[in-house]
Amino acid sequence: MRATIMENDGSVHLAEVPDAAIVHPTDAVVRITASCICGSDLHPYHRGLGDRASKRAGHEFIGVVEAIGADVTTISVGDYVIAPFAISDGTCVNCRNGIMTSCLHGGFWGSDDEQGVLVDGGQGEAARVPQADGTLVKVDREVDDALVPHLLALSDVMGTGHHAAVTARVGEGSTVVVIGDGAVGLSGVLAAKRLGASRIVIMSKYAERQAMATRFGATDIVESRGDEGIAAVIELLGGIGADSVLECVGSQGSLDQAAGVARPGGVIGFVGAPSGTFPTRPLFSNNLTYTGGVAPVRRYIPELLAEVLDGTLRPGDVFDSTLALADVAAGYQAMDERRAIKVLLKP
């Protein structure tokens, strides 16, 4: 089969790899109908893989189950399924605590599974899915083309934006600041709106992202950054700042920005892979809360899927580009150059 390989220098290309196949009795094999490129894929795309010679790329996909191992009980051949970006058994203590990303028997796409066997990446034609019963969520509905992007968004970005909003305690009437206007930040706007926020400020410099944010529910846009950006937000939000901040970037600048725009007692839900350090003094002085982390999206899929299926939630609107899997390299380039917000890949 064909799958995307990221080389040591970060470059990507499609290559022939061994067909996905059952290895353990708890595995399934999924024929991928759609996958996508993540903002977090751009980090190794830029800085390379360090010690690793190469890796299988991609961690977001949906598709149809083609085979199951002998111990799989809740998923059947022919099921249409969503695969979240982390593998989890759904039964260990961390899964029971809702932190499926810390599953004691889990793992991540493109890395070795618990038994040391390589797991396929998501940007390919098919994938072996370890812990299939815990990992996959079945879509109980005929899936047409219009539904595909919305289902695919549940594999990562929508659940990640939702995690930022939930951990930041967004609720009815909350004032919210979203830092980051990529697909996760925009999904965070959608999540905050859905949870009842009365005011949603997005910090964004790009016209098309501002427009999408507004469609998703943003009430205010702030283009400036640093101290000027902080002052603009504080002025918009009653002179004290936001109840909840969704930090969807992870750089030092955005972490400082987040601490600066939160009101005393405010909560920062942090889902950007961190390249910076949390400022400690403002947490202490202003009673801020830093929370969030790598999103356990598996936990959120059932709740969000119900609204996707009844048409009230349209997270797939973040996809503004669809390419053939063969054009995966062009997709990375388009996202890297900010010509695309998020690229959907069709094998």
Q: Where on the chain is the footprint of a copy of itself (CB under 8 A)?
A: 93-94, 97-99, 101-102, 167, 238, 240, 250, 255, 263-265, 270, 273-274, 276-278, 280-281, 283-294, 296
Cα separation, 39 vs 318, in Å, equals 12
Smaller CB separation from a copy of itself, 20 or 100: 100
> Cβ of residue 233: shortest distance to a copy of itself, in angstroms?
16
Cα separation, 248 vs 188, in Å, equals 8
Smaller CB separation from a copy of itself, 87 or 126: 87
β-partners of residue 220 are: 201
Q: Give the CB-side neighbour count of residue 174, counting CA atoms within 13 A.
A: 32
Of residues 128, 131, 139, the one with CA closest to residue 81:
139
Helix (H, G, I), strand (E, B) or coil at 306: helix
> Cβ of residue 76: shortest distance to a copy of itself, in angstroms?
31
Of residues 113, 90, 110, the one with CA closest to residue 100:
90
> Cβ of residue 103: shortest distance to a copy of itself, in angstroms?
9
Residue type for 58, please?
G
Cα separation, 9 vs 135, in Å, equals 31
> Cβ of residue 36: shortest distance to a copy of itself, in angstroms?
22
> Cβ of residue 290: shortest distance to a copy of itself, in angstroms?
4
> Cβ of residue 214: shortest distance to a copy of itself, in angstroms?
28
Cα–Cα distances in angstroms (integers) from residue 42 to residues 45, 116, 132, 221, 233, in the given order: 5, 26, 28, 25, 29
Smaller CB separation from a copy of itself, 283 or 309: 283
By the 10 Å C-beta count (0-12 exposed, 13-18 middle, 19+ buried), 313 is classed as: buried
Q: Give the CB-side neighbour count of residue 24, counting CA atoms within 13 A.
A: 17
Smaller CB separation from a copy of itself, 109 or 216: 109
Cα separation, 217 vs 273, in Å, equals 25
> Cβ of residue 99: shortest distance to a copy of itself, in angstroms?
4
Cα–Cα distances in angstroms (integers) from residue 211 to residues 159, 217, 239, in the given order: 22, 10, 26
Q: How many Cβ atoms are within 10 Å of 231's Cβ, its own excluded?
A: 14
Cα separation, 42 vs 37, in Å, equals 9
> Cβ of residue 293: shortest distance to a copy of itself, in angstroms?
4
Q: What are phi and psi of 292, to 5 degrees?
A: 100, -145
β-partners of residue 64 are: 31, 80
Cα–Cα distances in angstroms (integers) from residue 36 to residues 59, 65, 192, in the given order: 8, 19, 23
> Cβ of residue 273: shortest distance to a copy of itself, in angstroms?
7
